[in-house]
Amino acid sequence: MEHEIPLPVISEILGHTNTETTLTYLRINITELRKCALEVVI
């Protein structure tokens, strides 16, 4: 949302079928969430 990306686009990227689910996650710090995701070793 910080970069004006539409909520449905964010929801789709995250694999959410309901944008309300995405809104729950937007209450957290997205930058910190990205850092965590980037640190995952596969």
Number of domains into which the chain is organized: 1
* Cα angle 42-20-16, degrees, rounded to a multiple of 5: 30
Residues 6 or more apart whose Cβ sits within 8 Å of residue 37: none
Q: Is the pLDDT of residue 36 over 90?
A: no
Assigned domain for 2 exists:
no
Query: Tell me, what's the pLDDT at 42?
Result: 62
Output the pLDDT for position 39.
65
Domain that holds residue 18: 7-38
In tens, the pLDDT along 11-35 reads 999 999 999 898 887 777 777 777 7
Q: What is the pTM of this model?
A: 0.53
Whole-number Å distance between alpha carbons of 2 and 28: 12
Residue 13 placed within a domain: yes
Q: What angle do CA 37, 9, 2 make, to 5 degrees?
A: 70
Q: Is residue 1 part of a domain?
A: no
